[in-house]
Structure 1
Amino acid sequence: MMGCGFLRFSIRVLLVLLNLICCCRGFDPVDQYYINCGSSTDVVVGNTTYVADSSASRYLSTPQDILADSNLNSITPSDDSQLYRTARIFTGPSRYTFSIRENGRHWIRLHFYPFVYRNYDMNSASFSVFVQRTTLVSDFSPQNASVREYSVNVDRGDLVISFSPSANSFAYVNALEVVSVPNNLIRDDAALFNPPGPFTGLVTRALETVARVNMGGPLVSLVNDTLGRTWVSDRSFLSQPNLATTASNIPAVRYPSGGANSDTAPQTVYGTCTRMNSADDPRSNFNVTWGFRVDRGFQYFIRFHFCDIVSSAANQLLFNVYVGTFLVAPDLELTARTQGRLATPYFMDFVTPSMDVNNLNISIGPSPRSAYPDAFLNGLEIMKISNSRDSLSGESNLPSFPGSKNRVGLIVGVSVGASVALVLAGILFYVHRRRKQERLGHSKTWVPIPVNGETSHTMGSKYSTGTAASVASGLSYRIPFAAVQEATNNFDENLVIGVGGFGKVYKGVLTDGTKIAVKRGNPKSHQGLAEFRTEIEMLSQFRHRHLVSLIGYCDEKNEMILVYEYMENGTVKSHLYGSDLPSLGWKERLEICIGAARGLHYLHTGYAKAVIHRDVKSANILLDENLMAKVADFGLSKTGPEIDQTHVSTAVKGSFGYLDPEYFRRQQLTEKSDVYSFGVVLFEVLCARPVIDPSLPREMVNLAEWAMKWQQKGQLDQIMDSNLVGKIKPDSLRKFGETAEKCLADFGVDRPSMGDVLWNLEYALQLQEAVVQNDPDENSANVIGQLSPRVGEFNNVENSNSVAEFDTSSVDDLSGVSMSRVFSQLVKSEGR
């Protein structure tokens, strides 16, 4: 037995070593020059040989031949410490020239370590360095041992690195490298965040590495990186180290087939991280922040490296990522971007605006949508981007070499001409943009939103005087701001009845006594114009007894305001937990679920094209004065797939805890995503507890997972709301549990339609109200036809109070009716 255990352990170790070997092999550069400057002997660092520049003099053009040897043993030992024992000193303009065989981006690394050699005190040296026409540093005085790393694009021919001493000074370098960079390491584009949009043209810009950090891990030296990079520990950059802790699981890291690889960052970087030190406190709410020094007047390229080695399951953790005060990655959930796989490397690229301060803060923090208050970061790279003068430093003139005046003049002339052209283009673009904005008004103002193909107009003659009128007096949805102000007593905070992602919701009353709910957009909200338009477009297309009616909207004064029918009894959620409202009985809960299912079924089937709600949850199911359920909040809704399609490919949106995991993984939306969310609501209605509750033991945090375990054991009665104990007939509970279980199937094709869900819920209600003889196949989700009319026949069903009949007459479906009929129907609606 011990032998078998040792064998298994040995195999695991071997697999890890093989994985590390494969990862470390990495990229094989076409161009690779490693020069040990000022030395007469080669130096081997790791697997790399730095050639003595006395034997590599063919690369060097200098009027002097000064090789400096420190003869010191006091240099701090390290993998590359031998490189700092010698230096090449330049008393006049000098250059290295390297023949480039492969076009594209190349690393240039300059090693400096100041020491005294005869009359040359390198601590006082001041000089500039250029690559082609790009200024790398100007009037530079290196301090201590340092490496300056640059990445430049070489389009053809030779690469020339020039050293130019400042007045009455000299230049020096201890070692230098010129190495090809993988073409896909830094792409041509990244994301701007102020203003938001794409940044293109990176391939033509020179970059300087400001920081390359291994979060939560030790120094990773150039020997352990496939591209010869050094990754430093993040501890010295943390603003408040006590707020952070670390995690490590290097063997778990598995690179994806596409995207990040060992050249992007080594496994030792992705396998460690710094994370929030929340100490399992579900109330933790703080950011972990790192601070870096930067130069004003430059933009910076930032690459975040992520690898989820902290979660125990996919779809578990969401968090926010900040650059300075800007939220650049809200609600980041990595497994949604790695096909549901944990411990899979992933990176994100951003470009900052031109910096007007000398510090750059990077932060991570919890998302309010996450089950746990946690956030993590595995690695970070920050690079300065060359400016419009093709410089990474202050202004400096290119050095002059014998026989090269014309060439330098041409380079400078082209650079100046290009700069002038860029400035003129920028001015023309700015003037054009300003004129366009003046034509359109303020940039945050939008044109009236069309309703049913026509541009809407102000609502009713009475509104033009600023007096609120009844709903029936208007012929359109648009309501003046003054009328909304009057109805809400100028948005009196005492009238706030709710707060959501879009903004606050106020109770209002029109002058004729009609009660309304007014949702006022918050300018700081993540939801905005797109959700505003979607809500109006969706609700102007259809009417149904179990969908909350839109009365109007207001888009004056840069406002986004939606006005709905008022629902007297608020949300279903508030009647289940978190308030002092009286508990609902089982029959009331079933009728509420049936009403919501009818509304969703109509969305999926009752209009010319299916509509997917995308945010089904108990907070979006409202109750009128008779506890009739109506589905609300269509800001995230989306029209379904075409007839010849199976899904809609779209970014994942919704509420954590209710999200369909298949949609989350594949970003493919179908009506079955709503079915999954509704299944979560069913368990929420039965158990009367939040769908995500971090204060509970880990196995109970996620309601859907927890309830499914009890359902599969046939013991739902053990976890249901204590107010329902002894009040639910076993057959009714069994049918209800089966329905919820089918809704939560892992794959959409295995879930029932909303029509099937509706029939099963109506059957569960019948089982609660009466004994059903000879119950047909209880495990089927499609056997309720003998108890209720078929879905396709609902237009022929007369209105009835019987819960076994489908209450969706032509009065409920007004999708094709004129606007005047819609508003007259609103006044008569029993939901008023």
Structure 2
Amino acid sequence: MGCNKPFRLLFWVSLVLCLECFAKGFTPADNYLIDCGSPTNTTVGLRVFMADNLASKLLSAPENVLGSTSKALTSSGDSPIYQTARIFTGVSKYTFSISQPGRHWIRLYFYPFVYDKYNMSLAKFDVSTKDHALLSSFSVQAPLVKEFSVNVTTNTLVITFTPSQNSFAFINALEVVSVPDQLIPDTTKSFKSSDEFHGLMWQALETVARVNMGGPTVTFDNDTLWRTWVPDQRFLVEKNLAVSVSNIRAVKYVDGGSTQDIAPNYVYGTCTRMNSLNDPTSNFNVTWEFDVDPGFQYLLRFHFCDIVSTALNQLYFNLYVDSSMVLQDFDLSTIMMNVLAAATYMDYVTESATSSKLRVSIGPANMNNAYPNAILNGLEIMKMNNSDGSLTGSGIVNTSSSSSKRNVGAIVGVSVGAAFGVLLAGVLFMFCRKRRRLAQRRQSKTWMPFSINGGTSHTMGSKYSNGTTASLNSNASYRIPFLAVQEATNNFDESWVIGIGGFGKVYKGELNDGTKVAVKRGNPRSQQGLAEFQTEIEMLSQFRHRHLVSLIGYCDEKNEMILVYEYMENGTLKSHLYGSGNPSLSWKQRLEICIGAARGLHYLHTGYAKAVIHRDVKSANILLDENLMAKVADFGLSKTGPEIDQTHVSTAVKGSFGYLDPEYFRRQQLTEKSDVYSFGVVLFEVLCARPVIDPTLPREMVNLAEWAMKWQKKGHLEQIIDTNLAGNIRPDSLRKFGETAEKCLADFGVDRPSMGDVLWNLEYALQLQEAVVQGDPEDNSTNMIGELSPQINNFSQLDPTVSSAQFESVDDLSGVSMSKVFSQLVKSEGR
């Protein structure tokens, strides 16, 4: 007996330790697990789903059917709960008694199979709670789990299944389980804003992705909240740029950081990092891409744990969402109280998505002494309900009773808080006024006006006054008095506004000598400011080209940032393609506009010793004069190109969504080919006459570039062209135009043509539209880019009779027609 005492003691110690381990797990107050349609309980891992007949008291349905399948479920991911289902032919409700109000999981399991006359893959139905539409016109073709998180504020939760007309609904299994209150805080950071997002606890959330970076699938048995984490490989854009790391033993949970309920150590113990070992010059981003629904905001939860460093303060990196930086020069050591490999997480709420794709990227810090490396351990993406309480974009689910309750609450809140609100408003007004004055003083100290010489001469002032005379001819500056600008725009008359951009409003104006001008007035609240203002002046004061908008002057008085340009009678190219009611452009007009814009960009790229990269090429920045001649505008984001011995410029990503070069976004390496990509998007925009991003369209059509490329690669581009052009484009011209756009949109810059190549091919497309070129078989016309040398920046290489001086004159103010040079190039003997 004495010999057994040590063993007995060891047994009890082990038991206590095990109990302590289990005690650390979350115990839900409400825990409903139902295997719908099953006559017996079903065990899945450590959990037991109750038989359907035991849960029948929770269900009210006018008519329903229990279904089962004898089909063998052979996949390792298939669960026994998928073998049975409950089918609803009418509106049916599950009513759950809630013992502890708060956030709850709702997990819906679907696996369509055929039972009797019901083919579940043909079912179409809605699923909703009292306050939220969870699924609308939902159908499913393969095993699927839909996970939602809702805040239940009453003692019951009702989940309603509503079949669509002439259809039915079904469910294989159902979960309603309590969630720890601290899992989703009420306040978190707001993406693209310095403000915080409040009211998150009232949001219904749908899990879009839950990813374990650098590791395998983490099943619900290894998660205290029974979540499943999937590997990140299928989301990686370029797998060769990433490396997986695993060091689960290193993970530490410390006060102020993450917990096991936030994410298990199997998530924090693996990560994906930059593949930058042994290369201290690495400069690229690791990017993941996810499908999302446009029109919704998303809660992004990033999980971090530095399992790659051997000491503190070794790892600094940047984090991006789409084209914007979320974290810069981020050091995990500092936020985790100098504990290496401490688990932590960060939440951000995005603005409403405008694309069907969401990209998350990590990349090296901008610090000089930091080794290029970056990591991400885990990521959760959760869709937030819209203003109607819907997670589907359709259906207002608020019942009259809930609406009336909210109205009563609103009335009471207004009555009680009215006096306090008035007082608070007064205090805030005084505070904001003081801050505004301080900001103005600060701005006046940092903004140093500067003079730029050269240009033409105008008399400044409106035609309705004597005005102020300012010469722009010799060494006088471009600066224009504020009074002159004010008079020229009729005191910034709102009826004279002709456009609104990222910098501010654009007004039509008229100087005293009758010269029409466009006046761009900076908005103090704009994300663009002093840097863009200075860049615009510096760039446009250097350039004079018939296809670049000319700068007449600027004003920096009274803390204003105002730019004055030549007036472009016909506005933007965008306004002539869609949305404004302008007459449709012919195909020849569109080609000539594209050619003019290409000439302007080609001049920027090649006209000086160092290339100038526009960085914001889009149809809204291509303006048209009274003769529909195109001029490139808006140089606020422009950047000087790389030195002769360099291939790129490393810079923060800027540009317009939908036009942004994906390689520039991933690698933060800017070249002229980034403009070429954006111009390729413009070409498809010109052809199809629709926005580059349109969230109202079906998912596959939302992004114009992706949609058009699919049709181009099928060889059926004619199926998606502007209906006004149908039957008016010669097939050869369309084929050449489509191939040019496709080349521009190549994934890698090295595979894209130069703007010189693009210009040549657009001229060729115009020639093909007007007449068949003699001696040039049509079959060969589609391969022109491939036949030419890879970089055609000097046309004189093709024909010795064309001198470099002649070529340069094509792009300067002389206005020489490109067709004179082009006519020599298209001749057989000229090749």
Q: TM-score, normalised by structure 1?
A: 0.51
Using the alignment, how far apart are the partners of 1:759 and 1:566 within structure 2?
29
What does the per-residue CA deviation read over 1:779-820, in whole Å, with 9 as the maximum and x for residues that have no partner? Answer: 13175767996877413569677551369xxxxxxxxxxxxx
CA displacement 1:379-405 (0-9 Å, x = unmatched): 99xxxxxxxxxxxxxxxxxxxxxxxxx
Task: Give the alignment partner of residue 351 of structure 2, picking from 343, 366, 385.
Answer: 366
Does 2:501 correspond to 1:500? yes
Could you say if the C-alpha distance between residues 527 and 722 of structure 1 is closer, same or farther in structure 2, counting changes exceeding 3 Å?
same
Q: Which residue of 2 aligns with 1:196?
A: none
Structure 1 residue runs without a partner (length 5+): 1-40, 51-76, 82-214, 219-229, 273-278, 289-303, 309-328, 339-344, 352-360, 381-436, 808-832
Matches within 5 A, 1:678-827: 678-775=679-776, 777-778=780-781, 779-781=783-785, 793-795=806-808, 802=817, 804-805=819-820
Q: For residues 268 and 746 of structure 1, what CA distance do their matches in structure 2 show?
A: 40
The range that moved more, 471-480 or 691-700, is 471-480
- Is 1:245 the equivalent of 2:211? no
1:64-103 correspondence runs (5 A): 78-79=23-24
Q: For the Cα contact (< 8 Å) 2:658–2:693, is it kept in 1? A: yes
Q: Any idea what SS the aligned residue of 1:659 has?
A: coil
Code of the aligned partner of 1:553: Y
- Tell me what 2:321 maps to: 332
Partner of 1:671: 672
Opposite residue 654 of structure 2, the aligned amino acid is K
Q: How do 1:548-567 residues align onto structure 2 when only pairs under 5 Å count?
A: 548-567=549-568
- Look up the equivalent residue of 1:333 and give its one-letter code: D
Aligned to 1:414: none
Cα distance, 1:43–1:333 mapped onto 2, change above 3 Å:
farther
Q: Partner of 2:371 in structure 1? A: none
Question: Which residue in the other structure is 2:626 paired with?
Answer: 625
Paired with 1:267 and 1:637, the residues of 2 have a C-alpha distance of 47
SS in 2 for 1:657: coil
* Contact 2:302–2:347 under 8 Å retained in 1: no
Residue type at the aligned position of 2:183: S
Contact 2:294 2:353 in 1 (8 A): no
Whether the 8 Å contact between 1:331 and 1:369 is mirrored in structure 2 is: no
> Is 1:234 the counterpart of 2:184 in the alignment?
yes
Alpha carbons of structure 1 residues 78 and 504: separation in structure 2 relative to 1, 3 Å: same
Counterpart Cα distance in 2 of 1:550 and 1:790: 31
Question: Contact between 2:610 and 2:640, CA under 8 Å: does it hold in 1?
Answer: yes
Q: Output the TM-score relative to the length of structure 2.
A: 0.51
Alignment map for 1:439-518 (pairs within 5 Å): 443=444, 446-451=447-452, 467-469=467-469, 475-518=476-519
SS at match of 2:23: coil
Quote how far apart the aligned CAs of 1:517 are.
Answer: 0.6
The CA deviation at 1:217 is: 11
Structure 1 residues 585-635: Cα deviation after superposition (integer angstroms, max 9, x where no partner):
000000000000000000000012100000000000000001000000000
Measure the CA separation in 1 of the matches of 2:540 and 2:353. 28
Superposed displacement of residue 440, structure 1 = 8.8
- Match in the other structure for 1:190: none
Counterpart-to-counterpart distance in 2, 1:751 and 1:617 = 18
Q: Partner of 2:63 in structure 1?
A: none
* Cα pair 1:572 1:619 within 8 Å, conserved: yes
Query: CA offset at residue 244 of structure 1?
Result: 3.1
How far, CA to CA, are the matches of 1:265 and 1:791 in structure 2? 65
Aligned partner letter, 2:733: S
**Using the alignment, how far apart are the partners of 1:244 and 1:790 within structure 2?**
68
Structure 1 pair 613–796 and aligned structure 2 pair: CA distance change class (3 A): closer
Counterpart in 1 of 2:137? none
The corresponding residue for 2:118 is none
Deviation at 1:697? 1.1
**Aligned partners of 1:243, 1:718: CA distance in 2, in Å?**
42
Q: Distance in 2 between matches of 1:281 and 1:346?
A: 32
How do 1:529-540 and structure 2 match up within 5 A? 529-540=530-541
CA shift at 1:476, angstroms? 1.9
Cα distance change, pair 503–233 in 1 and its aligned pair in 2 (3 A): same
Q: Is the 8 A contact 2:294 2:355 kept in 1?
A: no
Distance, in Å, in 1 between the alignment partners of 2:247 and 2:804 is 52
Tell me the equivalent position of 2:270: none
Q: Which has the larger radius of gyration?
A: 1
* Residue of structure 1 equivalent to 2:615: 614
Match of residue 524 from structure 2: 523
Task: Find the residue that maps to 1:524 and give its secondary structure.
Answer: coil
**For the Cα contact (< 8 Å) 1:460–1:473, is it kept in 2?**
no
Amino acid corresponding to residue 243 of structure 1 in structure 2: Q
Query: What is the distance in 1 between the residues matched to 2:531 and 2:324?
Result: 26
User: What is the match of residue 588 of structure 1?
Assistant: 589
Q: What is the Cα deviation at residue 524 of structure 1?
A: 0.7
Contact 2:520 2:564 in 1 (8 A): yes
Deviation at 1:553, TM superposition (A): 0.7
Which residue matches 1:306? 302
Report SS of the residue matched to 1:540: helix
Would the aligned equivalents of 1:507 and 1:518 in 2 still touch at CA under 8 Å?
yes
Distance between the aligned counterparts of 1:781 and 1:761, measured in 2?
Answer: 11
Distance, in Å, in 2 between the alignment partners of 1:601 and 1:363 is: 40
2 CA distance for matches of 1:438 and 1:374?
35
Aligned to 2:56: none
Distance 1:622 1:574 in 2: 10
Structure 2 counterpart of 1:239, which letter?
G
Cα deviation, residue 451, structure 1: 2.5
Change (3 A) 1:44 1:565: farther
Deviation, 1:335, is 10
How far, CA to CA, are the matches of 1:564 and 1:334 in structure 2? 29
Q: 1:334-368 CA distances to partner (integer Å, 9 max, x unpaired)? A: 89899xxxxxx9989999xxxxxxxxx98624157
Distance, in Å, in 2 between the alignment partners of 1:573 and 1:349 is 47
Task: Please give the alpha-carbon distance, in whole angstroms, between the structure 1 residues aligned to 2:331 and 2:502.
Answer: 28
Aligned ranges 1:43-58 → 2 under 5 Å: none
| Distance in 1 separating the partners of 2:803 and 2:720 | 34
Shift of 1:482: 0.9
Native 8 Å contact 1:466 1:483 kept in 2: no
Asked whether the equivalents of residues 444 and 559 of structure 2 are also in contact (C-alpha less than 8 Å), the reply is: no
Contact 1:45 1:79 in 2 (8 A): no
Residue matched to 1:117: none
In the alignment, the residues of structure 2 paired with residue 724 and residue 548 of structure 1 have an alpha-carbon distance, to the nearest angstrom, of: 28
Offset at residue 698 of structure 1 (A):
1.0
1:487 is matched by which residue type in structure 2? A
- 2:748 partner amino acid: F
1:459–1:476 CA contact under 8 A, matched in 2: no
CA distance in 1 between counterparts of 2:544 and 2:490 reads: 29
Q: How large is the Cα RMSD of the aligned pairs?
A: 4.9
Task: Give the superposition deviation at 1:469.
Answer: 3.9
TM-superposed deviation, 1:690: 0.6
Instruction: Kindly provide the amino acid, as one letter, of the partner of residue 206 in structure 2.
Output: T
CA distance in 1, matches of 2:807, 2:515: 31
Distance change >3 Å, CA 698–CA 444, structure 1 → 2? farther
Aligned residues: 483
User: Aligned letter for 1:691?
Assistant: V
User: Does structure 2 retain, via aligned residues, the 8 Å contact 1:466–1:480?
Assistant: no
- For 2:808 and 2:381, how far apart are their aligned partners in 1? 60
SS in structure 1 of the partner of residue 709 of structure 2: helix
* Cα contact 2:451–2:477 (8 A) shared by 1: no
- Residues 1:593 and 1:483: Cα distance change in structure 2 (over 3 Å): same
